[in-house]
């Protein structure tokens, strides 16, 4: 049976693609199992709202799958994920600030139906902290979250934020003042 050139070429390209597809899917499953919860929690802590994390998690894993070949050590995956999550979250928080500045609503209604396994007290505390952070800049908010909620060391906060330790300390201090003031512990 004669097979057209188009079919030969298409079949060849596709058979190569499908082998790598299967491997990529398996790798994606493994990475999701291992890291999705970590990325989601990190994004949640920085964004402050559950409904905002879906896009961040998806974007982070799409980027991870595209850059996986460049991450040489398996141990480096988590660090890469943390840095990328911080970067993408920062971008989203900036867009959100801009939208609010322009008077565009960011309300999602009954968003708190997604409360995970948290108790009402925990949710209340989390919201109070994030309400306090609304007034500070995005960088300060992220740095403070990494330091006080994620309990990272100052040097790790600086690395994740892509700044010096001194700058990280300054951002954290600024946010800490706002939190203390808002929560009445000044």
Distance CA 21, CA 34 (A): 20
Q: Is the distance from CB of 48 to CB of 130 less than 8 angstroms?
A: yes
* Binding of residue 15 to another protein (CB under 8 A): yes
Of residues 35, 46, 53, 81, which one binds another protein by CB under 8 A? 53
* Other residues' Cβ atoms within 10 Å of the Cβ of residue 45: 20
Indicate whether 14 belongs to the interface with another protein (CB under 8 A).
yes
Map residues 83-112 to x or -, x wherever contact with another protein holds by CB under 8 A: -------------------------xxxxx
Among 30, 34, 58, 67, binds another protein (CB under 8 A): 58
Q: Residue 93 in contact with residue 138, Cβ under 8 Å?
A: yes
Site residues (CB under 8 A) for another protein, limited to 109-128: 109-119, 121-126, 128
Question: C-beta of 69: minimal distance to another protein in Å?
Answer: 14
Q: Does 51 bind another protein (CB under 8 A)?
A: yes
Residue 55, interface with another protein (CB under 8 A)? yes
Q: Per residue, what are the HEC states of 30-79?
A: HHHHHHHHHHHHHHHHHHCCHHHHHHHHHHHHHHHHHHHHHCCCCCHHHH
Residue 7 or 165 having the CB closest to another protein: 7
């Amino acid at each position: 049976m004669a097979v057209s050139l188009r079919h030969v070429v298409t079949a060849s390209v596709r058979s190569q693609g499908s082998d790598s597809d299967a491997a990529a899917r398996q790798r994606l499953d493994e990475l999701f199992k291992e890291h999705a919860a970590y990325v989601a929690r990190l994004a949640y802590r920085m964004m402050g709202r559950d409904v905002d994390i879906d896009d961040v998690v998806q974007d982070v894993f799409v980027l991870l799958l595209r850059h996986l070949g460049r991450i040489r050590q398996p141990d480096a995956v988590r660090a890469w994920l943390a840095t990328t999550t911080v970067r993408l979250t920062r971008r989203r928080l900036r867009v959100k600030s801009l939208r609010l500045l322009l008077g565009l609503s960011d309300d999602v209604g009954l968003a708190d139906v997604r409360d995970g396994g948290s108790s009402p007290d925990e949710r209340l505390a989390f919201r109070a902290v994030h309400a306090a952070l609304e007034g500070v800049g995005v960088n300060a908010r992220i740095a403070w979250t990494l330091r006080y909620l994620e309990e990272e060391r100052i040097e790790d906060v600086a690395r994740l934020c892509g700044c010096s330790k001194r700058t990280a300390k300054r951002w954290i201090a600024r946010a800490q003042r706002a939190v203390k003031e808002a929560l009445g512990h000044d």
